[in-house]
């Protein structure tokens, strides 16, 4: 799936998803060093990039295993990883069949929050003659998924422990509601420690001490060690970064390794330039930055993509004296890298600023 490609960047048809491999490697080193320093197991979430190649680099750089969300991500990443966490309840016959059909060498763990999901998983695992680990999903305040109280956690963990085909391995949570910049996260992290402590204490008292406590999020990444009891982090975005991760202080602009190469196609309307990267290349997701917009130029971060149509991105030129011409090329860092990558069939990989390889975004879809 990886092949060398010597077409210069200038000749690449646009829009094109571009990855700076030097920055990727620096990002991989930084997160591996952080996890090592704090004794946290590193299990990156591959949903961000959906490529087998980047998963391989993550494992080489020190990841103990990978996180996935979909059957397709699981199947593809299992071709290179021996330890896979499906951080998603596998509900329904098709998802279960594909999960337990993964190669036997793969150590499988699944997150869930209901007895319905547990029973289905137990049956499928037994029929396949394998044991699947289970992490009980806790709601730490995001209000998306997860059991609500220590009592519910104990009841579900007990059910896991008494279900054949599965093995209780601990707890998992995702504090996606903490979106403040890193410098202001103290109170939220203390609240997380306290809430997590109550869950762990109740489980331990019931003889169900969690071996794995898996947590973390992009905004809180570099303060994960402040959450007492955490054993594992699952960073996704950090390998590529985006405008949102810069805004929350999880990375510097110079650590953004992903951008969309685009061509200026119109300057007819005063005060703006239109590029051929629209919502179908960048994703029309509101960002965290109150300045608005859907992305900013890699080389001119003060120039925002103010609005998007499907194939048009409108660059706001009102705050700059720069005036691009029709045919000029720019690179846009989107608000949310996962959503943008998912719109592209391939990533064009640069090394030292030159074309190096093309990676297929192979795990798109389900």
Residues of this chain that bind a second copy (CB under 8 A) = 11, 13-15, 47, 69-71, 88-89, 91-95, 113-114, 116-117, 120, 137, 139, 143-148, 152, 176, 263-270, 272, 274, 276, 279-280, 283-286, 309-312, 314, 325-327, 338-339, 342-345, 364-366
- Identity of the residue, 270 or 353, whose beta carbon is nearer to a second copy in the bound complex: 270
Distance from C-alpha of 136 to C-alpha of 128, rounded to nearest angstrom: 22
Do the Cβ atoms of 55 and 246 come closer than 8 Å?
Answer: no
Nearer to a second copy, 119 or 226 (CB): 119
Nearest distance from C-beta of residue 88 to a second copy, angstroms: 6
Spatial CB neighbours of 202, under 8 Å, sequence gap ≥ 6: 150, 151, 153, 154
Helices (H), 50-114: 52-60, 71-77, 93-100
Cβ proximity to a second copy, 60 vs 148, nearer residue: 148
We find the least distance from the C-beta atom of residue 295 to a second copy, in angstroms, to be 15
Q: Are 28 and 357 in contact (CB under 8 A)?
A: no
Least distance in angstroms from the C-beta of 145 to a second copy: 4
> What's the closest the beta carbon of residue 347 comes to a second copy, in angstroms?
13
**Which one, 183 or 268, has the nearer CB to a second copy?**
268
Nearer to a second copy, 178 or 274 (CB): 274
Alpha carbon distance 145, 136 (integer Å): 11
At 117, is the secondary structure helix, strand, or coil?
A: helix
For residues 145 and 139, is the Cβ–Cβ distance under 8 A? Answer: yes
Residue 208's Cα: distance from chain center in Å?
Answer: 29
CB-wise, 257 or 281, nearer to a second copy? 281
Q: Tell me the closest approach of the beta carbon of residue 2 to a second copy, in angstroms.
A: 19
DSSP assignments along 37-48, one per residue: HTT-EE--BGGG
SS3 264: strand
Query: To the nearest whole angstrom, how small is the minimum distance from the Cβ of residue 30 to a second copy?
Result: 24
Contact indicator for 96, 136 with CB cutoff of 8 Å: no
How big is the CA angle at 362 (ends 357 and 366), to the nearest 5 degrees?
A: 165
Quote the Cα angle for 234-209-194, to 5°: 65
Q: Which long-range contacts (CB under 8 A, 24 or more apart) does 92-96 make?
A: 92/120, 95/71, 96/120, 96/121, 96/123, 96/124
Smallest separation (angstroms) from a second copy to the CB of 255:
22
Least distance between a second copy and beta carbon 24 (Å): 20
d(CA 319, CA 302): 8
Smaller CB distance to a second copy: residue 58 or 70? Answer: 70
* Nearest-approach distance from CB 137 to a second copy, in angstroms: 7
When the beta carbons of 20 and 113 are compared against a second copy, the nearer one is 113
Nearer to a second copy, 288 or 339 (CB): 339
Phi, psi of 53 (to 5 degrees): -65, -45
């Amino acid at each position: 799936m990886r092949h060398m490609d010597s077409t210069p960047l200038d000749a690449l048809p646009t829009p094109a998803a571009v990855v700076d491999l030097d920055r990727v490697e620096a990002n991989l080193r930084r997160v591996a060093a952080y996890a090592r320093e704090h004794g946290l197991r590193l299990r990156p979430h591959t949903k961000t990039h959906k490529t087998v190649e980047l998963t391989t680099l993550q494992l080489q750089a020190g990841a103990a295993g990978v996180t996935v969300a979909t059957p397709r991500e699981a199947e593809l990443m299992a071709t290179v990883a021996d330890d896979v966490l499906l951080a998603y309840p596998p509900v329904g016959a098709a998802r279960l069949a594909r999960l337990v059909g993964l190669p036997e060498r793969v150590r499988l763990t699944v997150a869930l929050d209901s007895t319905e999901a547990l029973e289905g998983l137990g049956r499928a695992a037994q029929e396949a003659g394998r044991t699947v680990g289970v992490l009980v999903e806790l709601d730490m305040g995001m209000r998306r998924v997860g059991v609500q109280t220590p009592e519910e956690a104990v009841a579900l963990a007990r059910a896991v422990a008494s279900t054949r085909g599965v093995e209780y391995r601990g707890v998992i949570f995702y504090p996606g509601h903490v979106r403040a910049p890193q410098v202001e996260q103290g109170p939220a992290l203390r609240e997380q420690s306290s809430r997590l402590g109550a869950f762990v204490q109740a489980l331990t008292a019931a003889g169900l001490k969690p071996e794995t406590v898996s947590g973390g999020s992009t905004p809180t990444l570099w303060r994960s060690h402040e959450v007492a009891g955490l054993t594992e982090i699952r960073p996704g975005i950090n390998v590529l970064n985006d405008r949102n991760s810069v805004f929350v202080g999880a990375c510097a602009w110079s650590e953004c390794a992903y951008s969309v190469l685009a061509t200026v196609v119109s300057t007819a309307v005063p005060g703006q330039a239109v590029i051929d990267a629209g919502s179908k290349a960048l994703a029309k997701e509101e960002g965290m930055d109150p300045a608005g917009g859907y992305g900013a130029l890699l080389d001119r971060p003060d120039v925002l993509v103010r609005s998007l149509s499907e194939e048009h991105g409108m660059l706001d030129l009102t705050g700059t004296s720069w005036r691009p011409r029709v045919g000029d090329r720019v690179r846009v860092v989107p608000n949310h890298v996962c959503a943008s990558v998912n719109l592209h069939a391939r990533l064009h990989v640069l090394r030292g600023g030159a074309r190096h390889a093309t990676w297929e975004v192979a795990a798109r879809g389900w």
